[in-house]
Amino acid sequence: MSISLPTYTRREAPLLGRRDRLRTIVTTGLRREFKRPAAIFAIGVGTAITTITAIVFVLFAPFFLPGQPLDLRFFYLPASNVAILFFVSLMASVIGAALISDDLDSMALTLYLSRPITPSDYLIAKAAILVPLISMVSVLPLVITPLLGLVLGLFPWDTALAAMGLAVLVGSVLTAWYTSISLFLSSLTRRKSYAAAGVFGVTFGLWIPAQVLAAPGALNNPNLLYLAPWEDFLAVARGAYGVTGGPIDWPLALGILAATTVLAGVATYLRMRAVEVVTG
């Protein structure tokens, strides 16, 4: 009788496909955000207030614009609602600022970026977490406004449908900008509070001084408003809805928003490429 050592067979676990990996990161991230009180507050209160405000704009449309025909230009009014600016900034700072910084702080990023997850996969997944949440404030109220106006018979169907399509386009510009900027700021620090402060700083730290300096009592130079992302967005909204007489032109404003969105995205990608990862 012979005695021999037992032998073991190593079974290789199949790797998830790229789509499954992205889906796992996105679903895990969304579940996490819907468990955080700050995120729940930003999502719930922000969506509720901006949506209710949009409904009020429709119900009292003749009082907001007395004597003006209710055409496509009316929908610039809900798009220029300052509540959208505040709650989009709040959502980007509460949710977006933590998406990468938390992974940096916990060292989970080095594991995420190990094979087979690439930096582009990681950033796409993080953006897919943030985009639908921001869209609940930046897109949803703008779509509800013409939809409700159509149901109530205040606007003809062609005007309402055109306004809904423009709402998606205009809101997507703001969503893309805040997604790109908040992820970029989140990638720069392990402290999500710093990234959150950066979101508010970029938003209001540029908007308020630009408003003050561009006023007639100061430098009286409207071109300074191009420095403020919110003013650029308002210019794009005016151009989309056919509103004339704005202080700045929408093509240049759109170019500035698009350029900063792309630059922030590229910078974030390069930042992810520079992270030392665990391989093997």
Pairwise CA distance, residues 37 & 263, whole Å = 32
What is the domain count for the chain? 1
Report whether pLDDT(64) > 90: no
Type of residue numbered 188: L
Average pLDDT over residues 270-279: 76
Q: Are 192 and 106 in contact (CB under 8 A)?
A: no
CA gyration radius for the chain? Answer: 23
Specify if 1 maps to a domain: no
In a domain, 89, yes or no: yes
Range of the domain at 254: 18-59+68-273
Count Cβ atoms below 10 Å from residue 152 Cβ, excluding itself. 11
Residue 268 lies in a domain: yes
Q: Is 278 within the bounds of a domain?
A: no
Whether 3 maps to a domain, the answer reads no
pTM of the model: 0.90
Report yes or no: 106 and 191 within 8 Å, Cβ to Cβ: no
Cα gap 264→223, rounded to integer Å: 23
Q: For 108-134, write each residue's pLDDT tens digit.
A: 887 777 767 888 989 999 999 999 999
What confidence category does residue 175 fall into, taking pLDDT thresholds of 50, 70 and 90? very high
Q: Is residue 161 part of a domain?
A: yes
Residues 6+ apart with CB under 8 A from 239: 250, 251, 254
What integer pLDDT is reported at residue 263 of this predicted model?
Answer: 97
Task: Give CA–CA dist 7/89, Å, rounded.
Answer: 59
Position 10 in a domain: no
SS3 for 53?
A: helix
Domain assignment of residue 174, yes or no = yes
188, pLDDT greater than 60? yes
- In this prediction, residue 87 carries a pLDDT of 95
pLDDT value at residue 208:
94
